[in-house]
Amino acid sequence: MNKEVYLDDVMQIIAEKLDAGGTVTFNPKGTSMLPMLRDGDDTVVLSKPKGRLHLFDLPLYRRKDGSYVLHRVVNFGSDGSYTMCGDNQFAVEKGITDNDIIGVVTAFYRKGKPYTVDSMKYRAYLEFMFYSKPLRRVIASATSRTKTLFSKSNSKKGQNNEETSD
């Protein structure tokens, strides 16, 4: 039987295990890392970072508001901070420091099959996701505008039908 546990409740244990050189596995929640990580279905393996993070690393970090986030390093600040973004997002989050980092994903499991972050398949995914982001942003924007147009058009049709049905 699986029991849902909140990170705040086990963070001390996670930190101790990572500091001792161990790994921690968990099922991340949310949709910000789609298509790589699916909400509650996939499992990630965290390790303690070996020094500074690199471009495309996937750390678990704690925001200033106390929430935990698993997003990708997409850039670096001139002050040595990290800029993060989910694979399924376009807004970046700047100013993440090494002190905010808890662990970094070294592998993940999908349907029981392991994938390591140094595999060729994973590296190809990273290249595609990073370099296709401008095109994906244009497509997402066009899709959003189209949905807005259709919803406005449908609401006007509904208003017109109400007016003429009396």
- The string of pLDDT tens digits covering residues 44-74 is 999 999 999 999 999 999 999 999 999 999 9
Count other C-beta atoms under 10 Å from residue 82's C-beta.
26
Q: Give residue 87's pLDDT.
A: 92
* CATH for 58: 2.10.109.10
67 and 32 belong to one structural domain: yes
Under-70 pLDDT residues of the chain: 1-2, 152-166
Amino acid identity of residue 58, one-letter, is L
Q: Give residue 72's pLDDT.
A: 96
Q: Give residue 6's pLDDT.
A: 79
DSSP character for 163?
A: H
Q: Which residue has the tokens 């009396």?
A: 166
Distance CA 128, CA 125 (A): 5
Q: Cα torsion at 119, 122, 126, 132 (round to 10°)?
A: 130
Q: Give residue 165's pLDDT.
A: 45
46 and 123 belong to one structural domain: yes
Q: Give residue 161's pLDDT.
A: 55
Q: Which residue has the tokens 């921690």?
A: 24
Residue 61, H or E segment: strand 59-62
Residues 6+ apart with CB under 8 A from 48: 18, 19, 21, 103, 104
In the chain, count H helices and then E strands. 3, 9
76 and 137 belong to one structural domain: no
pTM assigned to the model: 0.79
- Domain membership flag for residue 2: no
Q: Give residue 166's pLDDT.
A: 47
89 and 117 belong to one structural domain: yes
